[in-house]
Structure 1
Amino acid sequence: MSTPADTAPAGAVRQASLREINLALLLGRIAVAPRPPSRAELAAATGLTRATVSAVVDDLIGGGLVTEVEPTPRGGAGRPARGLLLAGHGPAGLGLEINVDYLAVCVLDLTGAVRHRAVHRADLRPVSPAETLALAAGLARQARADAHGQGLTLAGAALAVPGLVDADGVVRLAPNLGWREVDVPALLAAHPPLTEAVPGLPTLVVENEANLAALGELHTGDPGTTTFLYVSGEVGIGAGIVLDGTLYRGVRGFSGEIGHLPVHPEGHPCRCGGRGCLETYAGQEAILTAAGLTGADVAGDAVRLARLAAGGDPATLAALAGAGTALGVAVAGVVNLLDLDTVVLGGTYAPLARWLVPPVTAEVSRRVLAAAWSPVTVRPAVLGGDAAAVGAAGSVVRRIIARPTAWLTRAG
């Protein structure tokens, strides 16, 4: 019978803690290694004994977190050692995204490979929060069945929502969806569990979609870019702020609402109750209206706009130029405040970056005080429109890597 940690001998507790530290240390090293490291290389890099490394690696392999690969043939004496890789056949993360005009689901295995992806396009503004979450749960069940068919176990889920989300997963306000004080975990409790319960790991985390998209960009994009502003352009506009590799959330976790920065203080009315907000000039529907595409079907708007712009349509080009200028005004304010050197355009902005980057860059160059000797890079997101769902699933995977003991306890 196991002994509770609070009554176990101090030596046993210290031993358990040491094992947990070593598991996380070695799995983390394997996860970021540029090539599969051997056990001997891990011992040399960490200072652990070869016996300790071998025992810990055996636990990781046995728990389906790590796999061994055959060594690359080389010249010289001695037999080359086998390398170690994250396993693609064990735990996986489920990412869900709810946005104004679509639902998305994504499954990532431990290696970061996308193993399932699906998108359901619909205008969700007339749909109640309970019905929307039921649709999301249906997508999650299909993803879980597909993941099981591939030999994967969903070890947790993260849900991205475009709005203010508190630490308990309550959406305090999502103006473009019309949500206010929506207790997401409570509503999802009416549906079967979306993932297997893993003690020590949260079953479901609810987070702002731009924050999760920014984390996806941080861990998938240029490894040298660890400080940037991620701007997610959809019907609404959100931002994720990453400083020195860490997501800045603000005091209450509500940072990044760049879509409600006023670019024309007495301008167009906004759903939030204010006037002249950025999203009324640079949001997806604002661009469509300026391009003369009012009443168009929501699905595929970015593709339609890109096609028209590439064909030289004057109204579309003017709409994108105006949106880029408004976006540049808002972005310049954030860059001046936080001293950032990179701006990443995501969501529907990514496929439109060819036309948005020039006016955004022009405004940033004109308005940012340090731009003359420290230019700001403006570029599209690596993950494009998939960033939030992939970032959500990736956040689950990173929790497993950071705390493998929780998974190994379940697997054992």
Structure 2
Amino acid sequence: MSSRGVRHDSMRARNLAVVLATIHRSGPHTRAALAELTGLTKTTVSSLVADLLDAGVVTEGGAVRGGERGRPGVAVSLSGDRVATLGLEINIDYLAACVVDLTRTVRLRRTIPADNRNSDPARILAALRDLVKEITAASEDAGLRIIGAALAVPGTVEGEVLRSAPHLGWRDVRVSGLVDLPFAIDNEANLAALGELWFGSREMDFLYVSGEIGIGAGLVVGGTVFKGTFGLAGELGHVVVVPDGPLCRCGGRGCLEVYAGQDALLGDLPSVPGLVARLESGDRRAAEACERAGHALGVALTSAVHLLDPGRIVLGGIFAPLFPWLEGPVSDGLGARLGQMRGAPPALVVSGTGADAAVLGAAGLIIQQILAEPVQMLGL
């Protein structure tokens, strides 16, 4: 191919991304309005919209004003009818999958309870492959084509290798062969933060705290998750809250996880709903467990606020259903420790996505890739 042809293809790819992103960000728009908003010619926009219609990512219908005098034009908007993405999650207690269309509507959801602690990676990944086959077939029956998939895991990730997931008992596990599609894998807390960004509060700046067996955090700044130099940012569970406290699995003492992780909160109870039922009945031991957890969380978050200065803290994972009992102790701890060094403490809010945050974030990650690279992702 000549250099002129390469430049043309590159320009077309860029223009398709610009038009699709404009429809996503502020649509629906007429073709005339898209030309005005993007600075492209009407002829170019019409050609690009035709390509996007053929790919099934946009639809035309309904009359809207196109920014010109005269009759209203036909609206171009994102379509949820044909293209979708797949979010996957390996949790300590379950495997999950959800199919989300381009309008960010959840079309299918599956959860399989499982005890994945200290598990055999081959067995768990085989079960996840079976789940992928099942939900992919159901998607096809619904007329949806899955374009790509992403997986949320409770550990540190490098490329497609899960470097360390202590609660799973996994180290240096290559995750491959789940799908024959564009694929990504990331830490559960990072994807949960993105799930909250895209499906929950939709705020552009916040600190998301994911309560599970471990406790992770995702810092969203300007709509992007900050991962740190080696992708290890957000290990809130190993912030020391009591220097001479109990031994933690990491080898340290008095880590937040020891006081506010799922095991510490549940004690001998089998599930979070069971704990909520105890709390609603006024059980003293359950209330004391939440009080301890909230106090420890307030200590750890005080350090995070001093270091990161977030304007909003979102409690997710198991902290979401426990929020009515955690909010007071956490807020009191933050207010008392921040003192006069700053004004009011950051807003403390409950996640809008709850336990689905990570799997939604995984699906949303692929949606973002489609919006950014429609030619590559859709084969246009």
Q: Scaled by the length of structure 2, what TM-score is found?
A: 0.95
Structure 1's unaligned 5+ residue stretches are 1-7, 198-202
3-state DSSP class of the match of 1:68? Answer: strand
Task: Report whether the alignment pairs 1:59 with 2:51.
Answer: yes
Q: Match for residue 75 of structure 2?
A: 83
Q: Deviations over 1:281-314 (max 9, x none)?
A: 001110112xxxx1x33xxx22222222122211
Shift of 1:153: 1.3
How many residue pairs match? The answer is: 379
Contact 1:226–1:242 (8 Å) recurs in 2: yes
Q: Deviations over 1:108-162 (max 9, x none)?
A: 1111111111111122114211111111111111111111111111111111111
Contact 1:95–1:157 (8 Å) recurs in 2: yes
1:16-165 paired onto structure 2 within 5 Å: 16-33=9-26, 35-71=27-63, 78-165=70-157
Query: Aligned AA for 1:302?
Result: V
Contact 2:119–2:169 (8 Å) recurs in 1: no
Match of 1:383 among 353, 358, 363: 353
CA distance in structure 1 between the aligned counterparts of 2:174 and 2:118, rounded to whole angstroms: 18
Match of 1:320 among 290, 315, 330: 290
Query: Aligned AA for 2:76?
Result: L
Query: Aligned AA for 1:194?
Result: V
Match of 2:327 among 357, 368, 371: 357
CA distance in structure 1 between the aligned counterparts of 2:84 and 2:318, rounded to whole angstroms: 27
Match of 2:190 among 199, 211, 214: 211
Contact 2:147–2:378 (8 Å) recurs in 1: no
3-state DSSP class of the match of 2:89? Answer: strand
Task: Report whether the alignment pairs 1:194 with 2:179.
Answer: yes
RMSD between aligned residues: 1.9
Could you list the structure 1 runs, at least 4 aligned residues long, displaced by more than 6 angstroms after superposition.
Answer: none
Q: Match for residue 336 of structure 2?
A: 366
CA distance in structure 2 between the aligned counterparts of 1:204 and 1:39, rounded to whole angstroms: 33
Q: Match for residue 175 of structure 2?
A: 184
Shift of 1:220: 2.1
CA distance in structure 2 between the aligned counterparts of 1:93 and 1:315, rounded to whole angstroms: 43
CA distance in structure 2 between the aligned counterparts of 1:349 and 1:308, rounded to whole angstroms: 15
1:255-404 paired onto structure 2 within 5 Å: 255-289=233-267, 294=268, 296-297=269-270, 301-368=271-338, 372-404=342-374
Shift of 1:370: 6.5
